[in-house]
Amino acid sequence: MATHTPKNILITGAAGFIASHFANRLVRNYPEYKIVVLDKLDYCSNLKNLIPSKSSPNFKFVKGDIGSADLVNYLLITESIDTIMHFAAQTHVDNSFGNSFEFTKNNIYGTHVLLEACKVTGQIKRFIHVSTDEVYGETDEDAVVGNHEASQLLPTNPYSATKAAAEMLVMAYGRSYGLPVITTRGNNVYGPNQFPEKLIPKFILLAMQGKPLPIHGDGSNVRSYLYCEDVAEAFELILHKGEVGHVYNIGTKRERSVIDVAQDICRLFSMDPETSIKFVENRPFNDQRYFLDDEKLKILGWSERTTWDEGLKKTIDWYTKNPNWWGDVSGALLPHPRMLMMPGGLERHSDGSEDEKPESYVSSNTRMVVPPTKNVVTSQKHPLKFLIYGRTGWIGGLLGKLCESQGILYEYGKGRLEDRSSLVADIQSVKPTHIFNAAGVTGRPNVDWCEIHKTETIRANVAGTLTLADVSREHGLLMINYATGCIFEYDAAHPDGSGIGFKEEDTPNFMGSFYSKTKAMVEELLKEYDNVCTLRVRMPISSDLSNPRNFITKISRYNKVVNIPNSMTILDELLPISVEMAKRNLRGIWNFTNPGAVSHNEILEMYRDYINPNFKWNNFTLEEQAKVIVAARSNNEMDASKLKNEFPELLSIKESLIKYVFEPNKKTN
């Protein structure tokens, strides 16, 4: 195993959150090392973070910018620096949408200056570049194996794009000039001293003030959180034992949705989550999930020590004792903060107010995904108005776009499905002709989540759906309910490959996951409501192959796939049919799939033939798959003849795949 014993270390951005914990740890544990820290003291840096090291003889603080080549060269030479730990960066995603050039300047140009100084001086034994899990882009919601160090980089916002670009520079200097580089990519970090633009300290400070906790979108976004001291220990290990030229993920497999974090903080402050959490406009492309494979670092000898509850209590205790550590941070506590990229720079309201903006307000660093109803193109020949639930979901979002294209008035519901009074308020305000329910829990990040969040799953999938159906019936409204066909599995009467599909009247026979149990349960109860049209969707596919929820996109990114035929739903063809079903006031249960079945391999063969001629994949068995998932997955073929009879133009699954998905995406040489 490679070992490195540094003498003189330069730590950039050391007055910031993570770097200060690491710097203090090194100063404390290694008095024989000289620690030189460089920080320009930006808005999210604080010299107080380095108080534990201030009086140590092996510690030296320098105020300066990594973008200054003269300063960096001077420091490397005069301090005989042999090791650089490069933490300095702009890191807040919200800021990157409004101040993206600052991110380019700090994260890319600053890194380039450091690398060039290392090349010129020729004395560096280790250059450890601190990056982020966000460079991988959004992880598939149902992926059971995280991104490993060799995974493709697919950043989705200006912040992660600049970090990925900086990584490319680091790699290039390692290859071209032999610079001994190591890169780390880490999950979210939390703990004492963190500037409250980030989720956990923001929620804690708001809770301390008795104010509501703002959540972007629906709160289903999933993140993995590591306690700061555990991360500092990981960097200590990588510094001494990391191999040159390698990348190390610093991660945890324990994931939490934003709403779970908010609820935990409410619990520790004895606040009622129902009244203390408010949902605000989502930020542009808010990645649903980042998930890392952390095996490489575990093999090196690191493991997470601090449990979530323990770390959260320590963090709350610190902020409770140090409420004014950062001074006036009212600008950071807004739902969509925008910081000025300068030392101590906060953008505050001129009148000092923090009042919530009216509903029509959109901050300059966000974009409305769906325009307000008054801007929707209308047509007198369509006396329709749809009230849609599930705005942040895939189907819900597509429905809005479909309504726009057809000139149908629509609004998204603001109420929560479990809250009857809020649904009534929506109906009285919108006065819709039809209700569309595309909301519910499919799992965060996949159906395995439902196995350990059973009451939340019941609340959304059963109680919420039934409440909406009941309120709709009370107001004489038809409800189109997007359900699932994942309530059946091949059996003796419906064997794999036989072409005998499950019909609408068949009793569900798959209870392998708690998610499927709730969906089967609510489907049975909805039979008592004559105002409901239940559409059983299966493995949805669309022509948008960049969408990580797309079944084709998912399986084309997997290392291995099972090969088994299934019924599937081509959304480009079937979603317009669901709108037509509303116009025809159709009721009851419908298998909402294209006729026939298609296997994973058949789809991937088409993907290879139409999209990527070099594409390869491997198969594994259902038994092998079972070892890496918690809940079983449903496989079945559904009989779509009822839908075909109503809509004779409906294409078979393979015809629909070619017409709506592969032909439009076909790559020509």
Give me the active site residues, please.
133-134, 159
Tokens standing for residue 134: 């966000």
Phi and psi for 278 in degrees, rounded to 5? -125, 145
CB atoms inside a 10 Å sphere around CB 542: 23
Phi and psi for 598 in degrees, rounded to 5? -140, 145
CB atoms inside a 10 Å sphere around CB 563: 16
Q: What torsion do the CA atoms of 18, 19, 25, 28 make, to the nearest 10 degrees?
A: -140
335, 216 contact by CB (below 8 A): yes
Q: What's 48's DSSP letter?
A: G
Phi and psi for 328 in degrees, rounded to 5? -80, 110
CB atoms inside a 10 Å sphere around CB 364: 9
Tokens standing for residue 568: 């599937």
306, 227 contact by CB (below 8 A): yes
Peptide bond into 31 cis (omega under 30): no
Phi and psi for 387 in degrees, rounded to 5? -105, 115
Burial class (CB in 10 A: 0-12, 13-18, 19+), 360: exposed
DSSP sequence for 537-575: E-S-B-S-TT-TTSHHHHHHH-SEE----B---BHHHHH
Please compute Rg for the chain using Cα positions: 27
Burial class (CB in 10 A: 0-12, 13-18, 19+), 120: middle
Rounded CA-CA distance 539/595 in Å is 13
Q: What's 33's DSSP letter?
A: S
Q: Strand pairing partners for 388?
A: 412, 436
**Ranges of H-type helices in 17-68:** 17-29
510, 636 contact by CB (below 8 A): yes
383, 433 contact by CB (below 8 A): yes
Amino acid letter, 36: V
Amino acid letter, 639: D
CB atoms inside a 10 Å sphere around CB 428: 9
Rounded CA-CA distance 328/241 in Å is 41
**b vs e for 135-165, b when ≥16 Cβ sit within 10 Å of the residue's Cβ?**
bbbbbbbbbbebbebebebbbbbbbbbbbbb
Tokens standing for residue 368: 């409305």
Residue with tokens 């997997």: 558
